[in-house]
Amino acid sequence: MVTAIKMADPSGDEFLASLEARSGRPNHFFRTMANRPEVLKTFVPFYGAITGRGSVDRRLKELVYLACSYANQCVYCTAAHVASGKKAGITTEEMQAIQSEQDQGFSATERAVIRFARELTRTATANETRAELAQHFNDEQIAELTLLAAMANFTNRFNNALSVQPEE
């Protein structure tokens, strides 16, 4: 596996080794980020705070991550979120619809989330879709969805810039 920079060796990083021990497999994203070990240590709980429990349904969160990852063509994040999206009840057909931007089969709430994530990814403002989102969500939920899209774009850009590929 070739990335733009070397991946850290978990034998030389106790925190990285503990992350991989919990998951039971190597993680190319963490190994690449571990080139800055102090960043990885703060990133993991921050990521968890955004993607974990909150006021937004897990399925909607996965729709956001997938919409951003498909728009950015991030191979790593798409692979990770196809797997977690399936666990959240997103079908293969729905994933293909998100990828091809054929959103008709989704509910009005889901379409609002998907369109917001795409626009935020492409423009960083979401001026056209923010009002539609507000018809379905309160301020706390809108903040959560925005943080999630921002996190997806952060991880997408990190992985794309450094050619991080999914684990085999």
Give the CATH number of the domain where residue 65 resides.
1.20.1290.10
**Confidence at residue 158, expressed as pLDDT on a 0 to 100 scale:** 98
Both 46 and 66 in one domain: the answer is no
Number of domains in the chain: 2
Which residue from 30, 23, 27, 107 is spatially nearest to 63, judged by alpha carbons?
107
Both 78 and 148 in one domain: the answer is yes
Both 41 and 64 in one domain: the answer is no
Both 120 and 152 in one domain: the answer is yes
Residue 90 has pLDDT above 80, yes or no: yes
Both 14 and 70 in one domain: the answer is no
Read off the pTM: 0.94
Segment 90-101 shows an average pLDDT of 96
Which residue from 79, 83, 61 is spatially nearest to 70, judged by alpha carbons?
79
Segment 93-117 shows an average pLDDT of 96
Residue 35 has pLDDT above 60, yes or no: yes
Query: Whole domain around residue 44: which residue ranges?
Result: 10-51
| Confidence band of 132 (pLDDT split at 50, 70, 90) | very high
Residue 2 has pLDDT above 80, yes or no: no
The whole-angstrom separation of Cα 115 and Cα 41 is 32
Segment 73-94 shows an average pLDDT of 96
| Confidence band of 4 (pLDDT split at 50, 70, 90) | confident
**Confidence at residue 168, expressed as pLDDT on a 0 to 100 scale:** 80
Neighbours of 92 (CB within 10 A): 10
The whole-angstrom separation of Cα 81 and Cα 165 is 14
Residue 1 has pLDDT above 60, yes or no: no
Which 3 state secondary structure label does DSSP give 115? helix
